[in-house]
Amino acid sequence: MASPTPPSPVGERRKPSVLEVPFGVNEVRLNGPQWLATFIILLVVILLTPRLWDKVERFETGPDYRIPYTLSKDYWLYHRRLTRVSDKKKIIVLGDSVVWGEYVLPDGTWSHFLNREAGGKDRFINGGVNGLFPLALEGLIHYYGQPLRNQKVIVQCNVLWMSSAKADLSTDKEEPFNHSRLVPQFFPRILCYKAEATERLSAIVEREVGFVSWGNHLQNAYFGQQSILTWTLAEDAGDPPRYPNVRKNPFSQITFSVPSAPPNDPLRGPNSPRHKSWETAGSPTRFDWVDLDSSLQWHAFQRLIGILQRRGDDVLIVLGPFNEHIVAEENRPAYRKVRDGIALWLSQHQVPHVVPETLPSSLYADASHPLTAGYELLAQTLYKTESFQQWLKSP
């Protein structure tokens, strides 16, 4: 076997050539036309694959559909969902886990009861995502919410995100949080977000390049929210752990059908042990409310309204339903100051909004999530509100 390289220490000294060095030891050496061909093929693949996938992959939604909890970070799917419901007759309800329905089943959500109030039509669409907060919601709608144009949109404003510097993400100490790929990566600065530059830039690339988002969709939908390579090495919960995927063909995992949520979710719904009033285990709490002027979450919410309005959406803000009962008596004025401050800003900027009455204490599961009956009552009261009806009837 001929070796073009210098001899080993065993060999004799050889005069090395000065500038002539071999290219390498493989034949992946493309010339200009070959690179051009590669570029064209890649461009076609990158542009067409997500579109073709949209046609090929089954995505069954139906009434009361919400993005399954396990697919919360599948933003490509979220975009696809919004594309499907972009219809002037439909009203998209945007928000965090309050809209999504953390403690309830799909038929116990706010949008479900709004539809019931509207006469059973599938008019209100659950656009909530579990784990979101205004900074992430802004990113989600900015980068993946382009289909939302000239449409009626309800945005739920959860003041819980301004209830402490930690919730507001305005602390200096590093805080892990959900959906970090949606938040502003460089500006405005989130001090408690300490990701390295490469991670931040990856997030930006993912938002901008549909093919990468689609790749993440595959990971979310078929590979348990991990890369395909990591999936092959995933371990079970045994001790010692076993590795059930090592013999599996990764490609056989791709079933061309978006997984749906389990029909009987044991963690949610009236039969779940979590579905109980906060009063059974909690007591009033003192919140360290942040100043609205310096609140990152509130500023993000303001920007979110701007994004939707610029896209021609008819936006209605629902400020609540926050559980005032959980707020310690002496702390309530501070809460009301925040709530009223938000309402004042919305009024000043002529943003239609509703501030629903606080629900009865027993209908809350925690500081902001209602139980099934709470959502029902909220939908009923909201539907009866004059300003809501006016907004609904406006062209």
Partner 1 sequence: MLFHTWPFLIFLLIVLPVFFALRKTRLWLPWLAIASYFFYGWWNPYYLLLVAYSTTLDYFLVAFMDHCPREKQKVDVLARLTRLRFQDRFLLVGFVTSSLAALGLLAVALAGPLTLRPAMLGFDLIMLLMALGALFSSRRIWLIISLVNNLALLLFFKYARFLVENLNAALSWLHATVHLPDPSALMPYGFAYVLPVGISFFTFQSMSYTIDFYLGNVQRERNFLRFATFVCFFPQLMAGPIERAKHLLPQFHQFPPIRLQNFTDGASLFLVGLFKKLALANYLSFYVERVYDRPAAFGAPALILATIAFGWQIFFDFSGYTDMARGVAKLMGFNLILNFNNPYLSTSLGEFWSRWHISLSSWFRDYVYIPLGGNRGGAFKTYRNLLLTFLISGIWHGAAWTFVIWGLLHGLGVLVTRELERSAFYRERVPKLLKQGAVFMFVSFTWIFFRADSLHDALFIVQRIFTGAWQDPQIPMLMVALVAMVWLYEFLYESQFRPLLKTAVVRVALAVFLVIYLCLCSSGGGAFIYFQF
Taking CB under 8 A as the rule, does residue 250 contact partner 1?
yes
Identify residues 214-243 at the interface with partner 1 (CB under 8 A): 215, 218, 227-230, 232-233, 240, 242-243
**Beta carbon of residue 180, minimum distance to partner 1 (angstroms, whole number):** 15
Beta strands per DSSP E along the chain: 91-95, 124-128, 152-157, 314-319, 353-354
Q: Provide the edge-to-edge strand list for the sheet that holds 91-95.
A: 124-128, 91-95, 152-157, 314-319, 353-354
Which of 197, 252, 329, 393: binder of partner 1 (CB under 8 A)? 197
Whether residue 68 contacts residue 260, with contact meaning beta carbons closer than 8 Å, is answered with yes
**Beta carbon of residue 136, minimum distance to partner 1 (angstroms, whole number):** 21
- How many chain residues touch partner 1 (CB under 8 A)? 58
Whether residue 66 contacts residue 109, with contact meaning beta carbons closer than 8 Å, is answered with yes
Which of 70, 164, 202, 381: binder of partner 1 (CB under 8 A)? 202
Residue (243 or 256) nearer to partner 1, CB = 243
Residues 6+ apart with CB under 8 A from 147: 79, 82, 83, 85, 86
Which of 48, 52, 205, 328: binder of partner 1 (CB under 8 A)? 205
**Beta carbon of residue 21, minimum distance to partner 1 (angstroms, whole number):** 5
**Beta carbon of residue 167, minimum distance to partner 1 (angstroms, whole number):** 29
Residue (37 or 328) nearer to partner 1, CB = 37
Which of 35, 48, 340, 361: binder of partner 1 (CB under 8 A)? 35
Q: Which stretch binds partner 1 (CB under 8 A): 79-87, 90-98, 121-129, 209-217?
A: 209-217
Sign of the Cα torsion 123, 127, 133, 134 reads negative
Type of residue found at 126: N
Taking CB under 8 A as the rule, does residue 198 contact partner 1?
yes
Sign of the Cα torsion 152, 103, 59, 78 reads positive
**Beta carbon of residue 260, minimum distance to partner 1 (angstroms, whole number):** 24
Whether residue 361 contacts residue 323, with contact meaning beta carbons closer than 8 Å, is answered with yes
SS (H, E, C) 127-175: EECCCCCHHHHHHHHHHHCCCCCCCEEEEEECHHHHCCCCCCCCCCCCC
Q: DSSP string covering 92-115, please?
A: EEEESHHHHTTTS-GGGSHHHHHH
Residue (225 or 232) nearer to partner 1, CB = 232
Taking CB under 8 A as the rule, does residue 7 contact partner 1?
yes
**Beta carbon of residue 392, minimum distance to partner 1 (angstroms, whole number):** 44
Binding residues for partner 1, rule: CB under 8 A, are 1, 3-13, 16, 18-19, 21-35, 37-38, 41-42, 45, 197-198, 201-202, 205, 211-212, 215, 218, 227-230, 232-233, 240, 242-243, 245-247, 249-250
